[in-house]
A = this chain, B = another copy of it.
Amino acid sequence: MPLEDVQPVSLLCGDCPIRHRAVCARCETDELDTLEQIKYYRRFEAGQTVIWSGDKMDFVASVVSGIATLTQTLEDGRTQMVGLLLPSDFVGRPGRASAAYNVTATTDILMCCFHKKPFEDMMIRTPHIAQRLLEMTLDELDAAREWMLLLGRKTAREKIASLLAIVARRDASNKLQLPQGRMIFDLPLTREAMADYLGLTLETVSRQISALKRDGVIELEGKRHVTVPDMDRLMNEAGEDSDGGFLV
């Protein structure tokens, strides 16, 4: 595959966990050696908190495997998920000393971390890194804004349908398929995590999933294994035109 056609799925294109490379299709610089020197791996078990909002954070990282969530909370415990970290996603903000969100592993997770200061130095030497990070951040911003429409204006049923559609699309793109027709996938989240994602309670999530099942929009095997007989139908329930490509 020519470099032009490489889909840069992460900031650091390459084949982690073997090795990260600060080089992408448009960038000739190769900071592989630097990265090898400053990187280290960290493992977390499902349920563990990677970092608390406000804690000092002297690294940036990319997810190698597993799933983590970014959440914000109010003092009385109400919590809202504001981001979902999937393999290849980047976390941490160059130029900020402390974490702005709680980061929690929802499955066992392996993260590839880089000490922040040398990473920032490398960014300055390698301008394309900043451009790639900008692209990724703009994508995240778009996803956040799509999510705001969901939180502010969609009904509980539409919210659930939207979430299912997002997971289905993400799953399809991992398998290099198109999100259409009959689709089968696993939900990587508990009912409670879905509720925190959608600004609902876990009871409402459960009820709406049951309703979608009753109405034949989805089929369920166990609690997590979902079959969508007709993706278009699901998109319709989600209140989206069937193109929209929002994810995190």
Contacts and interface: CB of A to CB of B under 8 A. Distances in A.
Pick the 10 closest A-B CB pairs, nearest first.
Answer: A152-B199, A127-B127, A151-B151, A82-B145, A144-B144, A80-B152, A78-B153, A80-B149, A72-B149, A134-B134
A137 interface: yes
Contacts of A140: 141
Interface of A: 70, 72-76, 78-80, 82-83, 93-96, 100-101, 123-124, 127, 130-131, 133-135, 137-138, 140-142, 144-149, 151-154, 198-199, 239, 241
B93 A138 contact: yes
Contacts of A94: 134
A172 B96 CA distance: 24
A75 B95 CA distance: 40
A83 B141 CA distance: 11
Nearest to A241: B75
This chain: copies in complex? 2
Nearest to A148: B82
9 contacts: A70-B145, A79-B153, A82-B145, A83-B145, A93-B138, A127-B127, A144-B148, A147-B148, A152-B199
A79 B154 CA distance: 10
Given A80-B149, A148-B80, A152-B198, A74 B130 contact: no
A238 B229 CA distance: 44
